[in-house]
Structure 1
Amino acid sequence: MIKKILPLLLFFISTYVHAETIKTDVLVLGGGASGVAAAIQSARSNVKTLLVEEGPWLGGSMTSGGMCILEANRNLPSGIYAEFRGRVNNFYKTRLGYDTTRNAVLAFEPSVGASILKKWTDTVKNLTVKLSTPFTTVKKDGTGWEVAITINGKTDIVKARALVDATELGDAAAKAGVLFNSGFDSRKDTGEQQAPDNATNQIQDISWIAILKDFGKAANKTIAKPEGYNPSLYTCLKKASIPKLLASGALINDKYMINWADCGNQYSVTSNDLLPEDRENTFKQARLRTLGLIYYLQTELGYKNFGLSDEFPTKDHLPLIPYIRENRRAMGLVRMVLDDIYTPYDRGSKLYRTSIGIGDAMPGQSYITPGAPKIKYPPFPGYTIPLGAVIAKDQENLFVTEKALSVTHLVNASTMYPSVQMTLGQGVGASAAWCAFFKKTTKEIDARKIQEEIMIYGGSIMPFADIPKTDSAYRDVQQIGATGMLQGILKITGNSAQVLFMPDTIVYTAEVKPFLNDAYTRSFLWFNRTSPGEKFTLGNLLSYISEMSLTDPQTLLRVMQANWKTKYKFSTTFDVSRPVTRREFAVLANRYLRPFARKVDLTGKLVN
């Protein structure tokens, strides 16, 4: 008996002795779109960063999950996502027919995307990446976190000042005890007019995407009949245009992304189906649904020459993970609702002032189960994602991304897209790094400092579609926009919408007076004394700057006139009697009045 027990004791002693404690500033759990971006930005912000991914690839949904055609945010290329687009375009630029224009839909082979991300992260200073590394426990460690990870069968302990949950299903936040919502929210709960009367636990379908390849007319790539194959699930495809469906998912090298609705490869789930104890069976059934679709396509519709590409290191050549659109949504310090997208300036809270990410993805409504509410979204504009929505409530220094954001069901239908998540991830990484670098907690977090860091590294905080990064006024416009001193203008064209700054239009007194009076204590005295007309003139602006900055008016006038076209890059004529343009107002107000320096709380309220 002793002889049998002794080896077991030695094993446990050996395991304990060799367990390593890894100390890092920021720990990112999950190597999806947001996780990679968060890790890169955190490391660039000069803190030690560890990225842990349980699978063999980086990229999450857009690589391991096969969602490799990204339409969202192509008109708002920003920061790390813009860099990723550039790296993909650079890889394919010599391939005939590949569209590398600035705002083209981004399409790539999943294995190529994963390879690009791995090579990229390997070169980032302060960043360590561990693939094929699951985590088992998450617990508080003072104001930081302690996480157990498994490397080659051995458990190591990671201690971090800040933790980012970038997992596909919010698993780290769940282990940390965060409270969640799931399913459709009711209109009474969220105040969203588009929400249904009653809440339900229905979430968007998952899809096990497939990457097919055309092997030529003579090829026969028919797979074995899948377990439980039911051809009636796919009969509506006989009325569909298969060439059109294939073309919608066309990739390079005769490959096609198959992510078809209706009787395609969507699989209906509730949030309960994605609980850890039920996932294995749920994922098996979703996988069989896709294999059945391929078998039907090959045997019933005559596409036997279309076979599964060897894109993924799996036995059946399907992706490593399903494409998950939604799961549990964490309770954060704030919750983002549709009105924060459609009417951000009209709300009591001004969450746009705390923006750390931007998006423009059209909301998806992926439900094959009859009876799911169909939402009538008005034309969907670009929007901002607030800092408070990524900070878990009652959990210091815990940030949530992917589908665990503190948003409503209707907002998640847009924010969950990989390209939006990669843009947001940069802001999350900057936020986590700030806490770690300054040894602060999320209770003390400063939105303006985070926003400055995002912009230093090429990111955007406002979704203005008409001010490119190359514009000399870009940063001024971004910062003025984030204060609300000059608000974005919604332009609707048919079913699409854009948020514009319209830099060459004039400024009206009524649009700037409320903010100026709120932000500057002597402002109302100036307005009472000056009584500017309906149109705010350049002279009015210079007079106001002189008053607020205590600068001699004539000195200011001479300096402005001397620097008008050289320092400030204005192409207009210097004339104090004409109405000032929004570009001129943004540049001069930002540099002389410095409204962006005013601290705001997580609701966007100015802090005195």
Structure 2
Amino acid sequence: MIRIDAERGSRSLKIETCNTDFAIIGGGMSGVCAAITAARQGLKVTLVQDRPVLGGNASSEVRLWILGATSHMGNNNRWSREGGLIDELLVENTYRNPEGNPVILDMILLNKVKQEPNITLLLNTAVYEVIKSKGDEIDGIKAFCSQNSTEYVIKAPLFCDASGDGIVGFLSGAAFRMGAEPAGEFNEPMAPDASYGELLGHSLYFYTKDTGKPVRFTAPEFAMDVQKEIPRYRNFNAKEHGCKLWWVEHGGRMDTVHDTEQIKWELWKVIYGVWDYIKNSGKFPEAENYTLEWVGMVPGKRESRRFEGDYILSQSDLIEQKIHEDGVAYGGWSIDLHPADGVFSDRSPCNQWHSKGIFQIPYRSLYSRNIKNLFLAGRIISVSHVAFGGTRVMATCAYVAQATAVAAALCLKYKKMPAELYSENYIPVLQKELLKTGQYIPDVNFEDKDDLVRDAHIQSSSNLAFRGFSRDNYLLKRLSIAAGQMLPVQPGRFPSFTALLKADAATKVNVELRISSKYGGFTPDTIVAVKQVELQPGEQEVNIDFDVVIDKQQYVFVCFLINEKVQLAYSHERVTGILSVFNGVNKAVSNNGKQVAPEGSGVESFEFWCPQRRPEGQNIALQFREVVHAFTADQLSNGADRPTLQPNAWVAELADRAPVIEVSWEEFRSIDRIDLVFDTDTDHPMESVLMTHPETVMPFCVRNYHIEDEQGRVVYQKKDNYHTRNEILFESPVETKKLKVILEHPSDDVPASLFSLRCYSFKSH
């Protein structure tokens, strides 16, 4: 029993002091990815989250899908899913949670964080004060946990604000912006005027459930009459719920920090009014058995403060895909701005304009320009309001957070402040360390002198000499939308090929060879050659020879234009780094097949050629007279771990039933670690909630493999792999002159492939 007598003075809270290497404030996807990445860099990390779960807008409290450069597969950003830790989490979620249950995602995030012994996690803990002894540097923060009535004093040499509203940046005095810049400040034609509004609002979601029996609903008195108040009320239906109703948005005319509770109340009025409309208007008899299963308690917030770094990313950086010497991450979402009046506006609910490809994000945008030891992560990074429209989505936010974590490790190692990594030319070191973690940076290749494979002889039991796809059990699909086959080619004459088509009647079909006007891009906006093929009724093989020379290695597109009278043959075979694309429509990202940019907008007009989601998206069954591409083993050490100008992958022949990669040295090597990078299909966006996925493991990913030394002893064996990166650490070094990696094909239609193989000795570090 505890009994405390009355006391005259006031009592104090319990106080705990945490001394840490890196304090991260905010436990959304940005904070989670920064914390795990930093912990794996060897830093002692304290992660402070003011909610009971991790994930922020992705969590079960809000339930928004995680997206980034892949953009629902509705743009021309091929193989653009973010790498590193966010890739690891999305691959894990797809494996464990293909149904998109947000509660399971909560579990996965908590599990990943708790697996890291270097992370101290403080949930339900809100920062309320910053401690400073100097005007330009943070000494510590104070935070309060509502669940254990404890005050935490957290001291660290480095801080990362990933809190969304930028609570630490704000309290510390960091320079920030809120709202839209005038068009002239950064020469941004897309800068909105006052009628459109300067801020994006909040959204609140709800889930429904079919109970199998009639359910009635009595609306609360505060429910809104959406038929009177919402101009687009006819867009509501009984089938859509969750973040498919992202456009139920409000608050862009208000203070999106301090008015959040008021905004939430207005959104509750809308939600219960929507459900009243669906259940009681008589217009949705299909909803008779539906009940309202869940309504959000925390609004998903899009925009509030943006903090100033040494570089402010703007519209031209995104549209022109500018290269920065300090590029550490990338984005690829559209410039996605919304009218400030949100759901109460009669305008289109969003204004999405895509660039032709992904854009770099520089390191200088990831730290405060005036608070020396403060990193910025998530949606608060140094961007204009217009550029914010493309950087604000969660996978992009998490990606830049990973860069801050590795930068923090280098700051501590070299005793530097964040800005000094740039000013004192540590960027190449930062980029290298990021690439080691699986972070892909456009136009930056991985060169690691410590990789023992660089000095080895590499050979394989077979290399796929690609001449086209099998027509065994081929599929015929009508050319109701234009279809293209992406193919990696080397400089030289483009080989002739055959296609299998079936015509309903005598007709002609136009076939085009296209490339991207931007070297290395995936927007097929340049027509190199055109052939018109005459077809007779019935099924026939046609020969096509464009008679052109390709001057440099790149992807080309063989495009079959629309003809409703014609069916085209497709193959069941799939190969790493080769895709079919279609000039279709994807309304989810304002893709109507072609982007027609308004005059003077600073945005380009172009066609979208995008893959289809599996189980669709088969490759066109083209067959070539010569080898189009050789997937040789030397690709394993070229420094690229995903398709870029080329597939950058070794691929085995399917007929080679137990393909082997052999790495050998003239002298013995002491190997402590082996890194392998497999193909988990970085074109798949892997939306985290609501949407389901056709498989739990990507079809290109090698599931089973083992590694032998020169004596044939098995030094490592892996079963049921589904991850992109396999880092193999040996308790005792493997002393050998030779390693063999023996793999199994993922399936009868997909040959084994590998992006990279790296070996390390701790003695060489």
TM-score, normalization by structure 2: 0.53
Change (3 A) 1:319 1:134: same
Q: Which residue of 2 aligns with 1:490?
A: 521
* 1:259 corresponds to 2:241: no
2:364, 2:419 within 8 Å by CA — same for their partners in 1?
A: no
Q: Which residue of 2 aligns with 1:214?
A: 210
1:226, 1:288 within 8 Å by CA — same for their partners in 2?
A: no
Q: In the TM superposition, what whole-angstrom CA distance separates every residue of 1:369-396 from its partner, at most 9, and x where no partner exists?
A: 3689985735452112111111111101
Q: CA deviation at 1:34?
A: 0.7
Summarize the alignment of residues 104-253 of structure 1 with structure 2, pairs less than 5 Å apart.
Answer: 108-140=100-132, 143-151=137-145, 152-196=148-192, 202-216=198-212, 218-220=213-215, 222=217, 224-233=219-228, 239-240=234-235, 242=237, 246=240
Q: CA deviation at 1:241?
A: 7.1
Q: Which residue of 1 aligns with 2:320?
A: 343
* 1:458 corresponds to 2:438: yes
Q: CA deviation at 1:140?
A: 2.8
Equivalent residue letter for 1:116: I
2:328, 2:441 within 8 Å by CA — same for their partners in 1?
A: yes
Change (3 A) 1:493 1:242: farther
Q: Which residue of 2 aligns with 1:365?
A: 337
Change (3 A) 1:197 1:203: closer
Q: Secondary structure at the match of 1:381?
A: coil
2:142, 2:153 within 8 Å by CA — same for their partners in 1?
A: yes
Equivalent residue letter for 2:439: G
Q: Which residue of 2 aligns with 1:7?
A: 7
1:464, 1:488 within 8 Å by CA — same for their partners in 2?
A: no
* 1:288 corresponds to 2:274: no
2:30, 2:377 within 8 Å by CA — same for their partners in 1?
A: yes
Change (3 A) 1:360 1:233: farther
Q: CA deviation at 1:463?
A: 7.6
Change (3 A) 1:569 1:24: closer
Q: Which residue of 1 aligns with 2:97?
A: 92
Summarize the alignment of residues 558-573 of structure 1 with structure 2, pairs less than 5 Å apart.
Answer: none
Change (3 A) 1:463 1:72: farther
Q: Which residue of 2 aligns with 1:307?
A: 291
Q: In the TM superposition, what whole-angstrom CA distance separates every residue of 1:240-272 from its partner, at most 9, and x where no partner exists?
A: 4726x62xx6xxxxxx545253xxx221323x5
Q: CA deviation at 1:156?
A: 2.0
CA distance in 2 between counterparts of 1:386 and 1:583 reads: 25
2:180, 2:198 within 8 Å by CA — same for their partners in 1?
A: yes
Quick one: which of 289, 297, 300 aligns to 1:323?
A: 300
Q: Which residue of 2 aligns with 1:334?
A: 311
Q: CA deviation at 1:336?
A: 0.3
Comparing 169-178 with 285-294, greater Cα deviation is found at 285-294
Q: Which residue of 1 aligns with 2:47?
A: 51
Q: CA deviation at 1:299?
A: 1.9
Q: Which residue of 1 aligns with 2:21?
A: 25
Q: Which residue of 1 aligns with 2:763?
A: none
Q: CA deviation at 1:30?
A: 0.6
Change (3 A) 1:201 1:68: closer
List gaps (5 residues or longer) in structure 1. Answer: 99-107, 250-255, 310-316, 466-471, 474-486, 495-503, 509-563, 572-580, 586-608
Q: Which residue of 2 aligns with 1:399?
A: 375
CA distance in 2 between counterparts of 1:584 and 1:110 reads: 34
Which structure has the highest helix share of the two?
1
Q: Which residue of 2 aligns with 1:279?
A: 260
1:357, 1:424 within 8 Å by CA — same for their partners in 2?
A: yes
CA distance in 2 between counterparts of 1:88 and 1:507 reads: 35
2:139, 2:157 within 8 Å by CA — same for their partners in 1?
A: yes
Equivalent residue letter for 1:459: Q
CA distance in 2 between counterparts of 1:179 and 1:268 reads: 23
TM-score, normalization by structure 1: 0.66
Equivalent residue letter for 1:146: G
CA distance in 1 between counterparts of 2:350 and 2:232 reads: 22
Change (3 A) 1:287 1:464: farther
CA distance in 1 between counterparts of 2:636 and 2:29 reads: 37
Q: In the TM superposition, what whole-angstrom CA distance separates every residue of 1:521-565 from its partner, at most 9, and x where no partner exists?
A: xxxxxxxxxxxxxxxxxxxxxxxxxxxxxxxxxxxxxxxxxxx97
Q: CA deviation at 1:234?
A: 6.1
Equivalent residue letter for 1:76: S
Summarize the alignment of residues 41-80 of structure 1 with structure 2, pairs less than 5 Å apart.
Answer: 41-74=37-70, 75-77=79-81, 78-80=83-85
CA distance in 2 between counterparts of 1:321 and 1:162 reads: 29
Q: CA deviation at 1:212?
A: 2.4
Change (3 A) 1:240 1:259: closer
Q: Which residue of 2 aligns with 1:556?
A: none
CA distance in 1 between counterparts of 2:552 and 2:183 reads: 39
CA distance in 2 between counterparts of 1:374 and 1:237 reads: 13
Q: CA deviation at 1:185?
A: 1.6
Q: CA deviation at 1:283?
A: 2.2
Change (3 A) 1:463 1:54: farther
Q: CA deviation at 1:365?
A: 2.8
Equivalent residue letter for 1:161: P
Change (3 A) 1:374 1:305: closer
Change (3 A) 1:441 1:189: same
Summarize the alignment of residues 466-545 of structure 1 with structure 2, pairs less than 5 Å apart.
Answer: 489-493=520-524, 506=552
Q: In the TM superposition, what whole-angstrom CA distance separates every residue of 1:265-319 from its partner, at most 9, and x where no partner exists?
A: 221323x52233x33222222232222222222222432433333xxxxxxx423
CA distance in 2 between counterparts of 1:154 and 1:391 reads: 30
Equivalent residue letter for 2:245: N
Q: In the TM superposition, what whole-angstrom CA distance separates every residue of 1:57-87 from its partner, at most 9, and x where no partner exists?
A: 1000111553433443344231111111111
1:208, 1:321 within 8 Å by CA — same for their partners in 2?
A: yes
Q: CA deviation at 1:236?
A: 5.4
Equivalent residue letter for 2:256: L
1:226, 1:291 within 8 Å by CA — same for their partners in 2?
A: no
CA distance in 1 between counterparts of 2:132 and 2:298 reads: 29
Identical-pair percentage: 20
CA distance in 2 between counterparts of 1:181 and 1:269 reads: 15
Q: How many residues align?
A: 446
List gaps (5 residues or longer) in structure 2. Answer: 71-78, 446-452, 455-517, 526-549, 555-630, 639-643, 649-765
Q: In the TM superposition, what whole-angstrom CA distance separates every residue of 1:140-198 from its partner, at most 9, and x where no partner exists?
A: 35654310011322212100111111112222211111222222221111112332477
Summarize the alignment of residues 545-560 of structure 1 with structure 2, pairs less than 5 Å apart.
Answer: none
* 1:438 corresponds to 2:433: no
Change (3 A) 1:281 1:489: same
